[in-house]
Amino acid sequence: MTDLNGRRVAILAADGVERVELEQPLKTLVDAGAETTLLSLEDGEIAARNNDLEEAGTFDVDRVVKDASVDEFDALLLPGGTVNPDKLRADESAVAFVRDFVASGKPVAAICHGPWSLVEAGVVSGRTVTSFPSIRTDLRNAGANVVDEEVATDGNLITSRSPDDLDAFCDALVSAVAGGAAT
């Protein structure tokens, strides 16, 4: 396994996050030695979901995104679930954090509906990405080149389609965090 000791990864999520899309990458990062920080819109907890509809427990929030700085982290993870990114894209602090993170050149990984935050941040134009099928039109309308692959890597952006792609997504994320920006 790749050694991520000393690497700090921000995870940005809100209520409605797809549990497995937060939990599996989080476990993979921690198992590789990374320090993770769950950022959200408010202190407390966020409610997770399975398949958007079933309650799936909660995650404790470490910090609110408006108090975080890109400089504190080596990478950013954006899990999906339809409600989660919809809440994030309505919050200017979250949108600015995503925009600044992509501009930093550090790895940004988004899965399933997570790329909605990238659309709102205005950072997908001319970039090759993938996502859950229902948001591909939004990505195209924002100027992205959308592909149907388990993982699409374009510079520092890493995107995947769905929980079915989590193993490949986690591998790409760990590799990018270990090496800095993806190539």
Give the residue numbers marked as catalytic.
112-113
Quote the CA–CA distance of 16 and 30 in Å, as a whole number: 22
How many other CB atoms sit within 10 Å of the CB of residue 28? 20
- Rounded to 10 degrees, the C-alpha dihedral 98/103/106/111 comes to 40
Q: Which of these, 91, 75, 88, lies nearest to 115 by C-alpha position?
A: 88
Cβ atoms of 144 and 153 closer than 8 Å: no
Strand partners, 182: none
What token pair was written down for 7?
A: 């690497």
Q: Is 57 helix (H, G, I), strand (E, B) or coil?
A: strand
